[in-house]
Amino acid sequence: MRLGEVLCESGSPMQHAYFPTTSIVSLQYVMENGAAAEIAGVGNEGMLGISLFMGGLTTPSRALVQTGGIGYRLPVKVLLEQFHRDGPIARLLLRYTQALITQIAQTGACNRHHSMEQQLCRWLLLTLDRMPTNDLVMTQELIASMLGVRRESVTEAAGNLKHKGVISYRRGHITVLDRAGLNSHVCECYVVVKTEFNRLLPDAPHH
């Protein structure tokens, strides 16, 4: 799954469900003028394609690979066969759907009510949770695009965190130096999402 690859466009039916392992997929809502903002991320804790078993088949969101890496893909037919057996896989998928809805709702509230620095901390922590390293291959332009804000806003917030010794960055890379520092600057939205995922998916990968 390559950085920048579009796995599913808004309104297009999916041929496969995706299960990222080392990659991260960004779910983005695309506006009429082409602007986009992230509504949720999907990493090794989840899957892409809840619309397939929820009955809608398509969604108005785009799925873009935010962090390149590896994942599994499953033909739609196989996923639906397993889901309709109404066994443990179906229950797990529905619990994940509830956790994802929480993440989408909390992202909307966070973007409306919290500072750019808090939003950046939330986004960095959720990304770190899905990765084995503290070094993120990520430009400020891409983060601005994900958060649906101007690049200058991200630059200012990242500069504040760098000044506090929480992160360092060079072009195309952000390294988290002090995870506890990130936790001290983040809003409650991160903990709400994390707690709900831990409650609903206790056996999923958590760092």
Beta bridge partners of 73: 18
Q: Are residues 15 and 84 in the same domain?
A: yes
Alpha-carbon torsion angle 58, 62, 68, 72, nearest 10: 0
Q: Are residues 106 and 141 in the same domain?
A: no
Residue where a domain stops, chosen among 92, 111, 130: 111
d(CA 62, CA 64): 6
Q: Are residues 99 and 26 in the same domain?
A: yes
Does residue 160 form part of some domain? yes
d(CA 59, CA 50): 9
pLDDT above 60 for 207: no
d(CA 85, CA 200): 21
Between CA 121 and CA 35, with CA 186 as vertex, the angle to 5 degrees is 45
Position with higher pLDDT, 30 vs 27: 27
Residue where a domain stops, chosen among 89, 111, 133: 111
Q: Are residues 86 and 143 in the same domain?
A: no
Q: Are residues 102 and 119 in the same domain?
A: no
Assess contact for 38 and 95: CB atoms under 8 A. no
Give the Å distances, CA to CA, from 51 to 7, 54, 65, 94, 121.
Answer: 14, 5, 18, 11, 29
Averaged over 167-194, what is the pLDDT? Answer: 91
Does residue 27 form part of some domain? yes
Does residue 203 form part of some domain? no
Q: Are residues 96 and 128 in the same domain?
A: no
Its domain, for residue 104, covers 6-111
The label of the residue with tokens 């504040």 reads 160
Tally of domains within the chain: 2
pLDDT above 70 for 85: yes
Q: Return the CATH number at 83.
A: 2.60.120.10
Render pLDDT for 31-50 as a digit per residue (tens, 0 to 9).
888 778 889 999 999 999 99
DSSP structure string for 59-77: -SEEEEEEE---EEEEEHH
Q: Are residues 101 and 143 in the same domain?
A: no
Does residue 193 form part of some domain? no
Q: Return the CATH number at 143.
A: 1.10.10.10
Q: Are residues 66 and 135 in the same domain?
A: no
pLDDT above 80 for 205: no
Q: Are residues 79 and 135 in the same domain?
A: no
Q: Are residues 90 and 167 in the same domain?
A: no
Q: Are residues 24 and 65 in the same domain?
A: yes
Averaged over 8-31, what is the pLDDT? Answer: 91
Q: Are residues 87 and 72 in the same domain?
A: yes
Share of the chain above pLDDT 90, in %: 60
Q: Which residue in 182, 202, 188 sits closest to 45, CA to CA?
A: 202
